[in-house]
Amino acid sequence: MNRVDYAPGGLNPPHSHPHASELVLAVKGELLVGFVSTSNVFYSKVLKSGENFVIPKGLVHFQYNVGKGKAVAITTFDSQLPGVVVAASTLFGSKPDIPDQVLAKAFQVDEKIVKAIKSKF
């Protein structure tokens, strides 16, 4: 179980938990929570205080404070070791690097764009 505090505009970036489902309970503020299913369907909801959202195990998801003030959430997992894979840093910040040409083809962009993104990590 975790308490997560979000500043206005705060983001928990796209990530997944390979070993657990997650329950997000909004305590304060407005939090956009979403995930993409294995069928590539995006599910989301803006949570207000007292509302919750379940994210199935292993799916890429995020939480984003869309309110004007601070947001607070409690998250729980169905495993003591949920694991975490943060999509952006995994792809663009790995050591050794994933080859630029692989990421350029995967995202259908020029290698210069891949290099620019990698420079942020």
15 is in an annotated binding site: yes
Given this model, what pLDDT does residue 58 score?
98
pLDDT band at 10; cut points 50, 70, 90: very high
Domains and CATH numbers, the chain: 2-82 (2.60.120.10), 86-118 (no CATH)
**65 has binding-site annotation:** no
DSSP label at residue 32: E
Predicted confidence band at 116 (pLDDT cuts at 50, 70, 90)? very high
Question: Does the annotation list 52 as a binding residue?
Answer: no
Which residues, other chains included, contact 4 with Cβ-Cβ below 8 Å and sequence gap of 6+? 12, 63, 72, 73, 74, 75
What's the predicted TM-score (pTM) here? 0.90
Maximum Cα–Cα distance across the chain = 46
pLDDT digits (tens, 9 = 90+) for 33-90: 999 999 999 999 999 999 999 999 999 999 999 999 999 999 999 999 999 999 999 9
Q: 58: left (phi > 0), else alpha (psi -120 to 50), else beta?
A: left
